[in-house]
Amino acid sequence: MTTNPLVARIETGAAPLETLATLALEQHRVIPADRRAFLHLAQRETVTPEAADFFDFLAEGEAMAGERLIAFAEACGVDEARLRTYEPLAGCQAYPAYVAWLALNAEPTDAVSALTSNFAEWGGYCATIAGALREHYAFTDEACGFFDLFAQPSPELDEKAAAAVRAGQVNDELVGRYSRMLQHYEASFWSTLSDPA
């Protein structure tokens, strides 16, 4: 059982469909923002070739995630008009805002370390949600594809991250700070979805 209260509700089928719809709408804003941040990091003057390769790989993954998100949004009843007019929630968008801050201010190698510290937890949430969507919400495999993408470990991503860290210098104090901030904003994302008011 997850310690994330909202993911735990989704796991048991207790979360309403409208909450899932809001999750889809928020991710519709998060994904392109994160993708642009990763592309910016890949092009920074201080980036090593290894770190650039890592961020390019992340950006490709975000593009794929954006494509898969469409089926999830449709399964939640979200149409094109609602996607266009949706007003995002500040508590959900704090995470991509901080990723953008890292893209502008953190050394790329430090950003690699900070970002990867959060991947396992996010992947665990996605695995739980993917299973729950099938079991309790009768979603198709296509509608679960967004979560399936992140639910599986990625040895290639791990290898690219390790190569990027080896090729650069890591400031452990800053990485710890960045990681804590990312974890805080991740928690804010889920708590805001639970209580959007």
Residue 5 lies in a domain: no
Q: How far apart are CA 16 and CA 168, in angstroms?
A: 45
Q: How far apart are CA 39 and CA 31, in angstroms?
A: 12
Provide the domain count of the chain: 1
Residue 120 lies in a domain: yes
Residue 156 lies in a domain: yes
Query: What is the DSSP code string of 155-168?
Result: HHHHHHHHHHHHHS
Residue 42 lies in a domain: yes
In order along its 197 residues, the chain shows pLDDT tens digits of: 568 999 999 999 999 999 999 999 999 999 999 999 999 999 999 999 999 999 999 999 999 999 999 999 999 999 999 999 999 999 999 999 999 999 999 999 999 999 999 898 999 999 999 999 999 999 999 999 999 999 998 999 999 999 999 999 999 999 999 999 999 999 999 999 998 75
Type of residue at 17: L
Residue 3 lies in a domain: no
- The SS3 of residue 16 is coil
Residue 16 lies in a domain: yes
CA distances from 32 to 5, 18, 29, 166, 173 (A): 26, 22, 6, 28, 29
pLDDT in tens, 165-187: 999 999 999 999 999 999 999 99
- The CATH number of the domain where 142 resides is what? 1.20.910.10
Residue 180 lies in a domain: yes
What is the extent of the structural domain holding 115?
11-190
Residue 27 lies in a domain: yes
pLDDT in tens, 95-105: 999 999 999 99
